[in-house]
């Protein structure tokens, strides 16, 4: 069954976002493109908030975020309750982030990854299942840290 996938980028990731949207729709997933549409400079936390917020509120099963490095998006997305965002840059990180970390948001670099590699990473990431078992215990521990820290599901008042 197809996943509900929210996707967003900053200005550096707009072109790659278009390619990934096409790929995911071709695979039968329900994709919501949360922008931006233009390549005029924008701030990545705004789009990280839209996508990670949708995942946090269970409006999307997974999220994909693209910026120049994939780093800022990951930092911002991880502020949202229940979000496990990772920056992936190859097959190993894409697969392990699903098998071991049950990552629900993947962040990608538009500047450093070629189109064929990006396509492989996306394909692997959407079709790899979480292994659970001992990994679930560790995710539970992360959830406890999150509860102790009181992360807001709305991400505070920033970037509205
Ligand atoms: C924007 O210049 C750049 O900082 C952004 O795309 C991203 O790489 C941040 O982590």
Rg (CA), the chain: 15
Q: Is residue 13 in a domain?
A: yes
CA of 37 to the centre of ligand 1 (A): 17
Q: How far is CA 54 from the centre of its chain?
A: 11
CATH number of 74's domain: 3.40.1400.10
**Residue 1 — pLDDT band, cuts 50, 70, 90?**
confident
Closest atom of ligand 1 to CA, residue 72: 10
Neighbours of 102 (CB within 10 A): 17
Give this prediction's pTM: 0.94
Burial class (CB in 10 A: 0-12, 13-18, 19+), 145: exposed
pLDDT at 157 over 70: no
Q: Is residue 11 in a domain?
A: yes
Q: Is residue 110 in a domain?
A: yes
Distances in whole angstroms, Cα of residue 154 to Cα of each of 15, 67, 85, 98, 134: 28, 21, 16, 24, 30
Q: Is residue 15 in a domain?
A: yes
pLDDT at 67 over 80: yes
Q: Is residue 114 in a domain?
A: yes
Q: Is residue 21 in a domain?
A: yes
- Which residues in 114-139 are b (16+ Cβ under 10 Å) and which e? eeeebeebbebbbeeebeeeeeeeee
Residue 142 belongs to domain spanning: 4-149
Q: Is residue 90 in a domain?
A: yes
Q: How far is CA 118 from the centre of its chain?
A: 13
**Does 67 contact ligand 1 (Cβ within 6 A)?**
yes
CA of 78 to the centre of ligand 1 (A): 16
Q: Is residue 154 in a domain?
A: no
Numbers of helices and strands, H then E, in the chain: 6, 5
**Residue 160 — pLDDT band, cuts 50, 70, 90?**
very low
All residues at 6 or more sequence positions from 50 whose CB lies less than 8 Å from its CB, including other chains: 6, 8, 34, 35
For 7-19, what is each residue's pLDDT tens digit?
Answer: 999 999 999 999 9
Number of folded domains that form the chain = 1
């Amino acid at each position: 069954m197809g996943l509900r996938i929210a996707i967003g980028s900053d200005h550096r990731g707009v072109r790659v976002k278009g390619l990934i949207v096409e790929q995911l729709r071709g695979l039968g997933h329900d994709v919501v493109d949360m922008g931006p549409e233009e390549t005029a400079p924008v701030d990545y936390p705004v789009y990280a908030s839209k996508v990670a917020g949708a995942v946090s509120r269970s409006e999307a099963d997974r999220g994909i975020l693209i910026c120049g490095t994939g780093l800022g998006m990951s930092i911002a997305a991880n502020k949202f309750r229940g979000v496990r965002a990772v920056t992936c840059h190859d097959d190993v990180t894409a697969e392990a982030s699903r098998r071991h970390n049950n990552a629900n948001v993947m962040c990608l670099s538009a500047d450093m990854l070629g189109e064929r590699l990006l396509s492989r990473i996306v394909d692997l990431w959407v079709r790899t299942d979480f292994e659970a078992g001992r990994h679930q215990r560790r995710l539970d521990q992360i959830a406890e840290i999150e509860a102790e820290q009181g992360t807001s599901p709305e991400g505070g008042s920033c970037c509205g």
